[in-house]
Structure 1
Amino acid sequence: MKPERHEHPVLRVATYNIHKGVQGLGPARRLEIHNLGHAVEQLDADMVCLQEVRSVHRREERFFPHWPNIPQADFLAPEGYEAIYRTNAITRHGEHGNAMLSRWPVLTHQHRDISDHRFEQRGFLHTQVEVVDRVVHVLVVHLGLVPASRVRQVVSLLAHIEQDIPAHAPVLVAGDFNDWGTGLGRRMAQAGFREWREKPTPTYPSRLPLNQLDHVYARGLTPVHAMVPTGRIWQRMSDHLPLVAEFAWND
């Protein structure tokens, strides 16, 4: 028997830049992907939106004896979750991109390239997820380092939403916005997107969080809570902390 919406009143969504599963530089760098697997499971989210996820990396495979033998998105997916990955950047030794792990069925997925210049390869992942009796559009983004590029990328993102997603459909936009100010947040608000803002939830840098670079915005859903896990183990696994946000259905 199919569940009804009142049986799942809150949608829990996490976003996490995992720094490709590795921390540190050079010979002293350490593999964190196994710890991240436990961490993702502890988030207990309906959808986990990930950035800087490796599909393959031949150099790291040779360096780390315990490098997973499957793509990182599949490795990180808790039991029963579906993993969707799409490439943003192709590099000398491999590739990395965005991923979405879902405990609910994924109906469709697509990728859009929003690279703004030749020095940064950027994109977003658009999935449709069937949550109980509703289809929720989940977009996973990782914006650029250049402020003007981020503005143009958000314009492209919002244009895609306007053209490809029905106005009445619930939409979540989650990811690393790389924005140290409030300009992109205002643009999202002008397009009808909201996030939990009752108290600060800084996510970067993980060892001493100063700013919230990671966001989960929603349209057609009501933000009810957001939190950032704390503690030394979370500080070690990535240069970002995960953001976990909860949303209620509007009807």
Structure 2
Amino acid sequence: MTRSLSGGPWRQSVLPERAGTLRVATYNIHKGVRGLGPGRRLEIHNLGAGVAALDADLVFLQEVRLFHHGDARRFDHTWFGWPEQGQAEFLAPEGYEAAYRTNAVTRDGEHGNALLSRWPVGDVEHADVSDHRFEQRGLLHVRVRWQGTELHAIVAHFGLIHASRVRQAQRLGQYVNERIPAGAPVIVAGDFNDWGERLDPLFGQAGLARSCAPEGSVRAMRTFPSRMPLFSLDRVYTRGLRCRTVTVPRGPAWVRMSDHLPLLVELEPA
């Protein structure tokens, strides 16, 4: 059942309003489904309430279904049912624009990255950064008009093998240098699967700085696994912007919806 946004576990997720700032969330939604076998359950409707409660200007989403015939058949006759729209459009709060591109094609469907934006969206591009045939990975690049400035938002989901992640970080840096004008503000956010905290120097070479809590504590940004967060896999990197706050919403509702917790950061011009 969809949970109310009026209080309880949702209330803690909303960052305070501040003029001249940009609120950004990144969230791996696990394709909107949790559990195994007969216990699999549809969480996409709860995720819609959760995304709205984050109240972020930009929401960077990973593992977003465009469609999946098997899950649609399984959940079509449940109380709320499988959405007719792709998950990006379904999750977009009223007044937001949704941009989506497919990373992976499977037997029953497709999934990829998405950006939900409260601000006007321009050109949308996709770059394939797959490192081997067993993992299909991509970058979603969206131009966003924010307070009279063209901001470049890139949604990323890196591979499970460290050597692949290194090459993907290098390709991302090359993409930023080749496709984005020097001096333009950039946000790169997503699930980087960087268990060993080893990618930051590679992003630094591309002029991208990791958004950290004021005290610089990685511990405060742990997002995986959602039930007992031990790793900071979900991150935001920026160029031309400065981080003011970092928040990781916690509580039973967030634990239920995905194996990741969302990460929220509040940014301002550098």
Residue of structure 1 in register with 2:237 after alignment: 217
1:44-59 equivalences in 2 (<5 Å): 44-59=55-70
What residue identity is the alignment partner of 2:118?
R
Contact 2:177–2:206 (8 Å) recurs in 1: no
Give the TM-score taking structure 1 as reference length. Answer: 0.95
- Give the count of matched residue pairs: 244
In structure 1, list runs of 5 or more residues that go unmatched.
1-6
Residue of structure 1 in register with 2:36 after alignment: 25
Identical amino acids, percent of aligned pairs: 58
Please provide the CA RMSD for this pair.
1.0
Q: Report whether the alignment pairs 1:39 with 2:19.
A: no
Residues 98-146 of structure 1, C-alpha deviations (whole Å, 9 max, x = no match): 0000000001110000000000000010000001110100000000001
Residue of structure 1 in register with 2:264 after alignment: 244
What residue identity is the alignment partner of 1:196?
C
CA distance in structure 1 between the aligned counterparts of 2:139 and 2:153, rounded to whole angstroms? 10
CA distance in structure 1 between the aligned counterparts of 2:31 and 2:178, rounded to whole angstroms? 32
What residue identity is the alignment partner of 1:101?
L
SS at match of 1:182: coil
Q: Report whether the alignment pairs 1:61 with 2:72.
A: yes
Give the TM-score taking structure 2 as reference length. Answer: 0.89
CA distance in structure 2 between the aligned counterparts of 1:88 and 1:190, rounded to whole angstroms? 25
Contact 2:176–2:206 (8 Å) recurs in 1: no
CA shift at 1:189, angstroms? Answer: 2.3
CA, structure 1 residues 69+86, in 2 after alignment: closer, same or farther (shift >3 Å)?
A: same
What residue identity is the alignment partner of 1:222?
R
Could you list the structure 1 runs, at least 4 aligned residues long, displaced by more than 6 angstroms after superposition: none
CA distance in structure 2 between the aligned counterparts of 1:77 and 1:170, rounded to whole angstroms? 24
Residue of structure 2 in register with 1:113 after alignment: 128
SS at match of 1:37: helix
Aligned counterpart in structure 2 of residue 167 of structure 1, from 152, 168, 182: 182
Q: Report whether the alignment pairs 1:233 with 2:227.
A: no
Aligned counterpart in structure 2 of residue 182 of structure 1, from 197, 210, 221: 197
CA shift at 1:8, angstroms? Answer: 4.1
SS at match of 2:101: strand
Contact 1:203–1:210 (8 Å) recurs in 2: yes
Contact 2:115–2:155 (8 Å) recurs in 1: yes
Residues 146-190 of structure 1, C-alpha deviations (whole Å, 9 max, x = no match): 100000001000000000111110000000000012211121123
Q: Report whether the alignment pairs 1:202 with 2:213.
A: no
Contact 1:8–1:132 (8 Å) recurs in 2: no
CA distance in structure 2 between the aligned counterparts of 1:63 and 1:8, rounded to whole angstroms? 45
